[in-house]
A and B are shown apart, each in its own frame.
Chain A
Amino acid sequence: MKRYIYIIIAILTVCGSACRKISIPPPNIIQDKDVFTSSPGIQAYMARLYSELPIEDFRYSPARGLNFFWIISPTPATTGEALSRDQTSSMQENFGGWNWDIWHGSYTVIHDCDYFIETLPKYASNFNKDQINQWLGEAYFVRGMTYFALVKRFGGVPIVNKTLDYTVGGSTEPLKIPRSSEKAVWDQVASDFDFAIANLPDVNMDYKDGSRANKYVAAAFKSRAMLYAGTIAKYNSITLFDGSQNQLCGIPASAAAGYFQQAVDAAKTLEGVYSLYLKGWSSTDKAAQYQNFVNLFSDATSSETVFVREYNYPNSVHGYDAYNVPRQLIGPNGYSSEVNPTLNFVEMFDGIPKNANGTIQNLDAGGHYQLFNNTMDMFANAEPRLRASVILPGDLFKGESIEIRRAIYTGPSAGGISPLLPAGSKSQYPTGNLVQGADAGQQAFTLPNGSKMNPAGASGIFTGDQTCAISGFSVRKWLDPNLPTSQVLENNETQTWIEMRYAEVLLNRAEAEYELGTSNSANINDAFTIINQIRSRAGAIPLASSSAMTIDTIRKERRKELAFENKTYWDLRRWRIFDKEQNGTIYRVLMPFYSSTAGKYFFDARTDERNDVYTYDPKWYYEQIPGGAISKSPNLIQNPGY
């Protein structure tokens, strides 16, 4: 009997204790306590936030959105900075078609920031106060950046500054948050950046190289955002209200001055901390000015670099060189020559012979083509910044002369060569006196002196395919001159993207000062000083006086300085001049020819031979809210015209 009792007790002991620990958190899912109790945990969280930071970097194009590797419809080919064989018209951004859905993606990032902001204080005892402040500052910085990315596209969007919890079976109504006014969202951006500025240290304690935010990074982006808001208030003419009189699109013009002032103030906080990169610069040596501007984009110790996105093989890579090297330096997996700067862009720069109306002077007084021994003779005095941004026909890159030639002209040259087509003609070149090359496998032509020359240059321009310098130019900025051709591959490159550099902060400040200023005021003089700092670093001719300066002077300087950095697209939008510039527009190109009888080169300036017409629809200033978002939350009001 006693034995039974022992057995029963034993069984109860075993069963009772065995059934205890059923309700444990699933060990294969990472818990808050795993993340928020150690610095590596926080670093992992930050890595995700920063990787989703919506910036238009090497992996952005309007056609395919953010964080996508394939950049064959590059941003500069939508702004008039360049032509590309794969981009033939104006376009608005295409959301979610390929990878990153900017609407839902951004709200995921905002949720991740909100969650971090709500959760970190609960684990504060694991860290010191400086760490807590920095990390909270970074979360606010990322959230501010994300609202900025939304508001510059859509106008007013829902503001969600806390995590939303849905209990299964509950009402979804509280989740359907309506759009706030556009002004409220810009103010949200400002307040997130202000929190970040107040809480971030001067130097990020985890990463000092500009890949994570410090207080000056937040201030620099605040200057960009407030300048954006100020220009919208001043220049936007599209309005949309909801039923409660919230202005979803547009900002009252009276708010402009306040935003411009915030932009100036934020930009000034960087003064003395960062500076224009002048390491190899010399006031008298154009070659040094050129090399200095080239190095600015690759020198990791540059004093101008404010905020960067770094890449790392094989985890996070891009293919900028593969898509953009000149045709003759094409990498093993193809592409090349996607960004071909337009003549419209090149003509903005100093040091080129120009007609009175600002167009390039390629004809002599008698109306014949000017003749040159080398194609670079035309650009002998070109502004160094132009050479550092654009490969001009015949300029050196990777130790090679980049050969860009449209065709060999075999017609008579005695007494001068008359233009091949009447001015303004959009026709094809008459082929009677031209020897052209269809593609890179062309047949050499025998010149009168017996030597051989290919009809088209090694980097184009070909008549049969467009993997060449279709505008007569090729992009230079960002290209790595030290990358061996065998390594010019997609998904293989790791140059750092500089998202914010001090030159932009200065240009933000100059533009905001000019917008605030009245003639000869301190604002205008400050803007004048800044523009001349930028110009002298670039090797351009300084402006003579502040009275000669207009808003267009400042905008043009910005477009030259920040070209091919995916900034002009947003500038043209916020200035609301995209539709004026792209209004049945065909961009201009410069075609170098070789005259076989004269033994010299000449240039023909004309409109894009493909006759691609750019017309920007003003409704695109406010992008279409994705239909899926409205289906889920019918309180969202669509932007006008969609």
Chain B
Amino acid sequence: MKKRLYYLAFGLAAIVASSCSKLDNYPAPSNTITGETIDAGTGNTVQTEIGSRGTRVKLLETSYSSNPTPYYFQSMQDGTFNNTKIFAATYNASVEGPFVPLVQTDSTGKVTSDQSQNITIKGTNTTTHLTFKVEPFLRIDWVGQPVFNADSTVTVKFKISRGTTNPAYQSLITDVNLYVSNTKYDGDNNYDIRYSPFNSFSTAHQTDSLLTNTLTLTTKPGALPQQDVYFRIGARINAGLDEYNYSTPVSVKYP
């Protein structure tokens, strides 16, 4: 009886073991792409938003097909990116975000300029560093530090300037927003509606003084909560998918 059980167990083990023989024996991707999106004018990385409305890297695996389906991965908020699971292959790489596109077309669809990069990745455990120099639609720079007012609101000062002289990307500013959040991942998809003031400018009320003056924004009426608070300015023009350009996030100590 016991012997029969053993046979049975052995038989089952044989079946189970053999059923697992079809392993995916293709080695896992082990190469790394790191890099950053740089403002060609200042050399700083281009600030962006986390998630689907921020900068992303586009890879076309040209060694696989002449018409490959694009592979995208998101950049980090500060404009750097890092992906450690890249297969060895030949790629055409570029970035998409709130800046003048690297691949530009005219109104008939003809490619007029192409600054995408062709890279070849070989072997395993390699690291490829990519730097994309771009012209952001807008640059937003802080003027001094945010200031706590007597009523525990906060006032910030900043300047907005254009990052490109390309005539196709000179439309007027449509939105200038101050985002208030309790994390530094501050942006149009993550802010506290109670404190964040938004300013939209319709065509009729647009003015270029937004680009020449130092601008001041104050959080909405009501004391900010006593906790870490981060501030970030986002501004955009009507171009591409209307993504925002951002300042760096800053925090101030609650007095």
Contact = CB atoms under 8 A, between A and B. Distances in A.
A16 interface: no
Contacts of A487: none
Interface residues of B, number: 30
B197 to A, nearest CB: 10
B83 interface: no
Given A241-B109, A613-B193, A615-B188, A640 B241 contact: yes
Interface string B67-109: 1011000000000000000000000000010000000010111
A583 B200 contact: yes
B114 interface: no
Given A245-B110, A615-B188, A618-B241, A580 B200 contact: yes
B194 interface: yes
Contacts of B240: 238, 640
A635 B200 CA distance: 39
A619 B193 contact: no
Nearest to A238: B241
A367 interface: no
B109 A584 contact: no
A641 B51 CA distance: 12
Nearest to B194: A426
A241 B109 CA distance: 5
A246 B109 contact: yes
B177 A617 contact: no
Interface residues of A, number: 31
Interface string B175-198: 101000000000011000110101
A584 B177 contact: yes
Nearest to A635: B67
B70 A638 contact: yes
A27 to B, nearest CB: 44
Nearest to A612: B193
B238 interface: yes
B105 A241 contact: yes
A611 interface: yes
Q: Would you call the interface of chain B mostly helix, strand, loop, or mixed?
A: loop
Interface in B215-255: 220-222, 238-242
B221 A422 contact: yes
A493 interface: no
Given A580-B200, A640-B241, A634 B69 contact: yes
B53 interface: yes
B57 to A, nearest CB: 14
A497 B240 CA distance: 38
Contacts of A583: 175, 198, 200
A634 B67 contact: yes
Nearest to B70: A638
Interface in A386-429: 422, 424-427
A247 B109 contact: yes
A316 interface: no
B99 to A, nearest CB: 14
A579 B242 contact: yes
Nearest to B105: A241
Contact of B198 (A245, A246, A584, A618): A584
Contacts of B242: 579, 618
Contacts of A634: 65, 67, 69
A456 interface: no
A11 interface: no
A618 B200 CA distance: 15
Contacts of A586: 193
A630 interface: yes
Nearest to A617: B53
A345 B229 CA distance: 35
B26 to A, nearest CB: 19
A41 interface: no
A246 B109 CA distance: 7
Contacts of A333: none
Interface string B102-145: 00010111100000000000000000000000000000000000
A381 interface: no
Contacts of A425: 222
A473 to B, nearest CB: 23
Nearest to A244: B109
Contact of B107 (A238, A252, A427, A619): A252
A237 interface: yes
A537 B57 CA distance: 55
The listed residue with most B CB atoms (<10 A of its CB), out of A424, A427, A580, A615, is A580
A425 B53 CA distance: 29
A641 B200 contact: no
B64 to A, nearest CB: 11
A618 B242 CA distance: 7
A427 B221 CA distance: 11
The listed residue with most B CB atoms (<10 A of its CB), out of A247, A615, A618, is A618
A177 B188 CA distance: 38
B193 A245 contact: no
A116 to B, nearest CB: 34
A333 B65 CA distance: 55
B103 to A, nearest CB: 10
A416 B83 CA distance: 64
Contacts of B220: 424
Nearest to B196: A584
B105 to A, nearest CB: 6
A422 B222 CA distance: 11
Contacts of A641: 52, 96, 241
A426 B53 contact: no
Interface string A594-621: 0000000000000000010101011100
Nearest to A422: B221
Contacts of B221: 422, 424
Interface in A456-493: none
A552 to B, nearest CB: 11
27 contacts: A237-B238, A238-B241, A239-B105, A241-B105, A241-B109, A245-B108, A247-B109, A422-B221, A425-B222, A426-B193, A580-B200, A580-B202, A583-B175, A583-B200, A584-B196, A615-B188, A615-B189, A617-B241, A618-B241, A618-B242, A619-B241, A634-B65, A634-B69, A638-B70, A640-B240, A640-B241, A641-B96
Q: What 3 A-B pairs are tightest by C-beta distance, nearest first?
A: A241-B109, A245-B109, A618-B242
Given A241-B109, A635-B67, 14 more contacts: A238-B240, A239-B105, A247-B109, A252-B107, A426-B194, A579-B242, A580-B200, A584-B198, A611-B193, A615-B189, A617-B241, A634-B67, A634-B69, A640-B240
Interface of B: 52-53, 65, 67, 69-70, 96, 105, 107-110, 175, 177, 188-189, 193-194, 196, 198, 200, 202, 220-222, 238-242
